[in-house]
């Protein structure tokens, strides 16, 4: 029986400098979001760089998700008009296509312009399609915090806070995380400042996103950044020390995906014109490694988990997540559950890829 719910466009794949999009480096959040909309009974159109990438995505999904996506080919998200055909008859736009990465060489060409132009293009296409009612943009806590303020203990960030970094500062900054954070705030502001849009808007601002990955993957070296962080902690044959933590707050990808669905469900109510800060838990790298080491299920892998080093958990900024908690309607997945599920899935993928190699 055909769904009576509106057609959702999910931009699954974005950009990653110097790497073929669809290798698995992007699509972590987009894949989770797509699966969540399918679970909720929404018809979904997804973007892919090529038909072969779409077919590969289908091949990686369980039976309940296969052949449920109407694919639109968008070869390059930063080209003007990129989303024109994909936008036809769409009611809800979910723009997830901008990965978390600090692995880039040129601040402007590789990070700032792709992030900003990708958002410009999705906005332009949506404004030209009368059927569009609502847009959700997956932003980041990076668009909220002031990185130069450091841990900032005692301060609580709210949806009124914005990363103050300017384009001019980001172009010349020698600090990749600063550039990434600037790209997120500048792109999100672009959407809020657009006076021509006739559809409503919701932005979702998560921190580091953990959880089991289900996007296509050629090799473990092509994991998305957050999963790669966990993999580096639990697959260290040389027993090198645990690295310092970039962002001490996290959330599970399944909660992020559910929030996108809830925002569409409530697009004409509580989610309308809202900015949600999403923090599921505090997590330092040393704690993530300890969670895996102390899980009996993983006893056979214990010698691969890093031990020693890492930063000691310390006080840092707070984040007001009341609105996001209310929208989700359930408790956030815990750090314990998220890391255990992530580790299990990563070792499963490692075995699968090694077997097929």
**Going residue by residue through the chain (357 aa), what tens digit of pLDDT does each one get?**
556 799 999 997 654 444 333 323 348 999 999 999 999 999 999 998 889 989 999 999 999 999 999 999 988 888 899 999 999 999 999 999 776 777 788 999 989 998 999 999 999 999 999 999 999 999 999 999 998 899 999 999 999 999 999 999 999 999 999 999 999 999 999 999 999 999 999 999 999 999 999 999 999 999 998 999 999 999 987 668 999 998 899 999 999 999 999 999 998 898 999 999 999 999 999 999 999 999 999 999 999 999 888 888 899 999 999 999 999 999 999 999 999 999 999 999 999 998 875
- Please state, in angstroms and rounded to a whole number, the distance separating the CA atoms of residues 333 and 206: 14
Per the CB < 8 A criterion, the answer to whether 305 and 285 are in contact is no
Fold entry, domain 8-210+249-279+315-328: Rossmann fold (3.40.50)
CA atoms within 13 A on the CB side of 299: 2
- Please state, in angstroms and rounded to a whole number, the distance separating the CA atoms of residues 356 and 351: 9
The reported pLDDT for the residue numbered 135 is 97
- Please state, in angstroms and rounded to a whole number, the distance separating the CA atoms of residues 87 and 107: 30
Per-residue CA distances from 260 to 117, 214, 257 (Å): 22, 17, 5
The reported pLDDT for the residue numbered 246 is 86
Residues in the chain: 357
Name the pTM for this structure. 0.94
Based on its alpha-carbon atoms, the radius of gyration of the chain, rounded to whole angstroms, reads: 19
The reported pLDDT for the residue numbered 310 is 87
Burial class (CB within 10 angstroms; exposed 0-12, middle 13-18, buried 19+) of 192: middle
Per the CB < 8 A criterion, the answer to whether 54 and 71 are in contact is yes
Per the CB < 8 A criterion, the answer to whether 136 and 188 are in contact is no
The reported pLDDT for the residue numbered 13 is 64
Per the CB < 8 A criterion, the answer to whether 251 and 209 are in contact is yes
Instruction: Give a three-class secondary structure readout of the chain.
Output: CCCCCCCEEEECCCCCCCCCCCCCCCCHHHHHHHHHHHHCCCCEEEEECCHHHHHHHHHCCCHHHCCCEEEEECCCCCCCCCCCCCCCCCCEEEECCCCCCCCCCCHHHHHHHHHHHHHHHHHHHHHCCCCCCEEEEECCHHHCCCHHHCCCCCCEECCCCCCCCCHHHHHHCCCHHHHHHHHHHHHHHHHHHCCCCCCEEEEEECCEEECCCCCCCCCHHHCCHHHHHHHHHHCCCCCCCECCCCCCEEEEHHHHHHHHHHHHHCCCCCCCCEEEECCCEECCHHHHHHHHHCCHHHHHHHHHCCCCECCCCCCCCEECCHHHHHHHCCCCCCHHHHHHHHHHHHHHHHHHHHHHC
Structure tokens at 4: 């009576």
Burial class (CB within 10 angstroms; exposed 0-12, middle 13-18, buried 19+) of 322: exposed
> 274 - beta bridge partners?
202
- Please state, in angstroms and rounded to a whole number, the distance separating the CA atoms of residues 311 and 308: 10
Domain boundaries, the chain: 8-210+249-279+315-328
Provide the pairing of β-strand 281-282 with 249-252.
antiparallel
The reported pLDDT for the residue numbered 25 is 30
- Please state, in angstroms and rounded to a whole number, the distance separating the CA atoms of residues 226 and 216: 16
């Amino acid at each position: 029986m055909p769904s009576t719910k509106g057609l959702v466009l999910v931009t699954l794949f974005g950009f990653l400098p110097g790497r073929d999009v669809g290798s698995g480096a992007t699509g972590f959040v987009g894949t989770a979001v797509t699966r969540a909309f399918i679970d909720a009974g929404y018809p979904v159109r997804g973007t892919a760089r090529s038909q072969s990438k779409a077919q590969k995505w289908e091949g990686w999904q369980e039976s309940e998700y296969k052949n449920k996506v109407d694919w639109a080919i968008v070869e390059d998200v930063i080209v003007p008009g990129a989303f024109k055909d994909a936008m036809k008859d769409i009611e809800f736009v979910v723009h997830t296509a901008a990965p978390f990465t600090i692995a880039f060489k040129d601040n402007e060409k590789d990070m700032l312009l792709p992030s900003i132009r990708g958002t410009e293009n999705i906005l332009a296409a949506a404004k030209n399609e009368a059927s569009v009612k609502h847009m959700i943009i997956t932003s980041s806590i990076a668009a909220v915090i002031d990185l130069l303020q450091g841990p900032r203990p005692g301060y609580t960030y709210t949806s009124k806070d914005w990363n103050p970094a300017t384009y001019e500062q980001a172009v010349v900054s020698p600090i990749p995380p600063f550039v990434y954070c600037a790209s997120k705030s500048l792109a999100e502001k672009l959407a809020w400042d657009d006076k021509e849009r006739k559809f409503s808007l919701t932005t979702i601002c998560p921190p580091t996103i953990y959880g089991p990955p289900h996007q296509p993957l050629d090799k473990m070296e092509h994991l998305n950044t957050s999963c790669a962080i966990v993999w580096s902690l639990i697959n260290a044959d040389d027993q090198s020390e645990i690295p310092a933590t970039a962002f001490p707050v996290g959330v599970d990808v399944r909660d992020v995906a559910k929030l996108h669905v809830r925002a569409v469900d409530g697009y004409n109510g509580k989610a309308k014109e809202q900015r949600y800060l999403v923090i599921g838990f505090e997590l330092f790298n040393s704690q993530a490694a300890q969670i895996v080491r102390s899980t009996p299920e993983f006893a056979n892998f214990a010698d691969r988990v890093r031990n020693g080093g890492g930063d000691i958990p310390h006080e840092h900024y707070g984040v007001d997540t009341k609105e996001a908690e209310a929208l989700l309607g359930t408790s956030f997945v815990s750090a314990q559950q998220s890391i255990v599920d992530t580790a299990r899935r990563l070792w499963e993928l490692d075995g699968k890829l090694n077997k097929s190699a």
